[in-house]
């Protein structure tokens, strides 16, 4: 999944996507443990997709003026 595609998603859709990818990683790890995994490199790409989504979520929080204000108030 490309970064531009992720940026076009809403925050709720991003959260759902992270949950779906996490479930897929769980299933692939189970297959790995049983020795029936077809594409082990898929694990690496899923982990990177999750990291990419979480990075963009962090960027969105920083870019949001309301959240930036809340963060600065919490530090006081």
Q: Measuring CA to CA, how many Å separate 12 from each of 28, 41, 42, 62, 69? A: 24, 28, 24, 17, 22
User: What is the residue range of 55's domain?
Assistant: 3-75
Q: What is the pLDDT of residues 20-74, one digit of tens each?
A: 999 999 999 999 999 999 999 999 999 999 999 999 999 888 887 665 565 556 6
Token pair of 30, please?
Answer: 């189970």
State the total domains in the chain: 1
Q: Measuring CA to CA, how many Å separate 22 from each of 10, 17, 45, 57, 72? A: 18, 8, 12, 16, 32
Where residue 67 sits, what CATH number does that domain have? Answer: 1.10.287.310
- Contact between 2 and 53 under an 8 Å Cβ cutoff? The reply is no
Per the confidence metrics, is the pTM higher than 0.85?
Answer: no
Read off the DSSP letter of residue 40.
T
């Amino acid at each position: 999944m490309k970064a531009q595609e992720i940026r076009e998603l809403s925050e709720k859709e991003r959260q759902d996507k992270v949950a779906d990818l996490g479930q897929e990683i769980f299933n692939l790890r189970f297959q790995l443990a049983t020795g029936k995994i077809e594409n082990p490199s898929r694990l690496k790409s899923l982990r990177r997709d999750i990291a990419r989504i979480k990075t963009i979520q962090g960027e969105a929080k920083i870019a949001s003026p309301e959240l930036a204000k809340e963060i600065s108030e919490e530090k006081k």
